[in-house]
């Protein structure tokens, strides 16, 4: 919990938002709303292991609280580490079918679709591998070959059964990890819930942004794309969007370095090791934040050439940044989103 408060404190010091108090809940941190101008309401919270920043224009009283309540509910449903969550129950069912909330079932269904279309570059059953790596704990420990090879056969999305009445069955030992898709789903749901009730809004789930509606001056929202070689607030380019989600997966989010190699949180399901593809980040713009989220993760694993082909096949708009700093986009991207390069 102190870790989470530290992140919030850092935000405060960075002068990003006014933050008057932080009362710790069971997992998330209850946010403090700030009304900095008559029409603008904003708040910052900590959910899904991520700093969540919400800015609303022309919102009715209480809407921000509704959003935080949704975040808390989704965290209770989808977190791998909360006992009794749907994901926890699926992961510890010992091979038995588990009935879950329809939303959980639906996320898994979509996850399997992206898994299939991406040739399993995105694998929702990645959990036995992610459990071997510790990208947040600071131990910088690499799993042994033995551990990794034992976990690899447990990562196989084809073996998950999504049955009738929202049941999920996994063979014993297998587990799911929604880290690569859940934030997208939640962004979609919250965007849907507030659409028509605000003039505009930005929902930012740590690199997963939904721009709802338009800004008060009727212009589109401008969303920065992070420079993979820069710091947290360094953008390499800016896109203009309205009513769209801009989702970036990057190899700079959670990582450690060992013997000159960067090990980051996006794993190649074939090797069980952090993807060593030529991509440093993948940004996808779409109405569906969930699809963009899962596909952005897949793109990192695929690497530049395969990812470009994949996005074109899927009719998705993307911007990829290679490890050497080259920016490549799908056809038409620059014009569609008035791409502005800053570097």
Q: Which spans of this chain sit near ligand ADP (rule: CB under 6 A)?
A: 122-124, 126, 130, 177, 179-180, 206-208, 249, 253, 265-267, 269, 293, 296-297, 301
Q: How far is the CB of 18 from ligand ADP (least distance, A)?
A: 26
CA distances from 297 to 12, 61, 251, 268, 342 (A): 30, 36, 10, 10, 24
- Is 179 a binder of Mg ion (CB under 5 A)? no
Residue 270 interacting entry, from Mg ion, ligand ADP, none, C-beta within 5 to 8 Å by type: none
- Closer residue to ligand ADP, CB minimum distance, 97 or 206: 206
73 class by beta-carbon count within 10 Å (0-12 exposed, 13-18 middle, 19+ buried): middle
Rounded least distance, CB 332 to ligand ADP, Å: 24
Q: 310 in helix, strand or coil?
A: helix
- Per CB under 5 A, the segment of 63-71, 81-89, 135-143, 247-255 that binds Mg ion is 247-255
- Residue nearest to ligand ADP as judged by C-beta position: 179
85 interacts with, out of ligand ADP, Mg ion, none, CB within 5 to 8 A per kind: none
User: How would DSSP label each residue in 41-110?
Assistant: EEEEEEETTEEEEEEEESPPTTHHHHHHHHHHHHHHHH-SSSTTSHHHHHHTSTT--EE--HHHHHHHHH
The answer to whether 101 and 107 have CB atoms below 8 angstroms apart is no
DSSP 155: -
Q: Give me 329's structure tokens.
A: 């986009």
| By CB under 5 A, residue 115 contacts Mg ion | no
Q: Which stretch binds Mg ion (CB under 5 A): 26-34, 77-85, 143-151, 175-183?
A: 175-183
By CB under 5 A, tell whether 293 contacts Mg ion.
Answer: yes
Residue closest to Mg ion when measured from CB atoms: 297
Query: Is there binding between residue 269 and Mg ion (CB under 5 A)?
Result: no
CA distance 301 to 251: 10
Between 277 and 297, CB nearer to Mg ion: 297
Exactly one of 297, 314, 329, 330 binds Mg ion (CB under 5 A); which one?
Answer: 297
Shortest approach of Mg ion to residue 206 CB, angstroms?
A: 11
Buried b (16+ CB within 10 A) or exposed e, 131-149: bbbebeeeeeebbeeeebe
Least distance in angstroms from the C-beta of 298 to ligand ADP: 7
Within 8 A by CB and 6+ apart from 208, the residues are: 183, 184, 187, 245, 247, 248, 289, 293
Q: Is residue 45 at the binding interface for Mg ion, with CB under 5 A as the rule?
A: no
Question: Which of the listed partners (Mg ion, ligand ADP, none) does 122 bind, with a CB threshold of 5 to 8 Å by partner kind?
Answer: ligand ADP
Nearer to ligand ADP, 87 or 301 (CB): 301
> Which of Mg ion, ligand ADP, none does residue 66 bind (CB under 5 to 8 Å by kind)?
none
Residue 4 near residue 26 (C-beta atoms within 8 A): no
Residue 304's binding partner, choosing from Mg ion, ligand ADP, none, with beta-carbon cut-off 5 to 8 A by kind? Answer: none
Tell me whether residue 64 or residue 282 sits nearer to Mg ion (CB atom). 282
**Residue 110 CB-half CA count within 13 A:** 19
To Mg ion, the closest distance from the beta carbon of 247 in angstroms equals 7
| 142/295 with CB nearer Mg ion | 295
Q: Which residues pair with 29 in a beta bridge?
A: 24, 46
- Piece of 58-66, 173-181, 236-244, 304-312 that binds Mg ion (CB under 5 A): 173-181
């Amino acid at each position: 919990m102190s870790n989470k408060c530290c992140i919030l404190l850092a935000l405060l010091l960075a002068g990003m938002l006014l933050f008057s108090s932080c009362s710790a809940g069971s997992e998330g941190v209850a946010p403090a709303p700030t009304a900095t101008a008559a029409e603008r309401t904003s708040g910052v919270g900590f959910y899904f292991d991520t700093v969540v920043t919400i800015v609303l224009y022309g919102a009715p009283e209480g809407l921000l609280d509704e959003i935080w309540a949704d975040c808390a509910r989704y965290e209770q449903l989808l977190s791998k580490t909360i006992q009794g969550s749907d994901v926890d129950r699926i992961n510890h069912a010992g091979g038995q079918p588990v009935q879950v909330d329809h939303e959980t079932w639906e996320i898994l269904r979509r996850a399997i679709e992206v898994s299939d279309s991406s040739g399993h570059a995105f694998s929702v059953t990645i959990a036995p591998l992610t459990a071997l790596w510790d990208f947040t704990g600071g131990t910088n420990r690499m799993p042994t070959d033995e551990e990794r090879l034992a976990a690899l056969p447990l990562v196989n999305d084809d073996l998950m059964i999504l049955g009738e009445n929202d049941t999920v069955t996994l063979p014993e030992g297998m587990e799911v990890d929604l880290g690569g898709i859940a934030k997208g789903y939640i962004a979609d749901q919250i965007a849907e819930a507030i659409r028509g009730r605000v003039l505009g809004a930005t929902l930012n789930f740590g690199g997963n942004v939904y721009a709802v509606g338009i800004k008060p001056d009727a212009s589109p929202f401008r969303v920065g794309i992070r420079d993979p070689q820069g710091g947290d607030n360094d953008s390499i380019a800016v896109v203009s969007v309205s009513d769209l989600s801009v989702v970036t997966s990057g190899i700079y989010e959670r990582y450690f370095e060992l013997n000159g190699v960067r090990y980051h949180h996006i794993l190649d399901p074939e090797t069980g090791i952090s993807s060593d593809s030529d991509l440093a980040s993948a940004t996808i713009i779409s109405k569906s934040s969930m699809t963009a989220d899962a596909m952005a993760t897949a793109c990192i694993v695929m690497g530049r050439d395969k990812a470009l082909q994949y996005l074109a096949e899927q009719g998705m708009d993307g911007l990829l940044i290679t490890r050497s700093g080259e920016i490549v986009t799908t056809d038409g991207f620059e014009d569609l989103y008035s791409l502005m390069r800053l570097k």
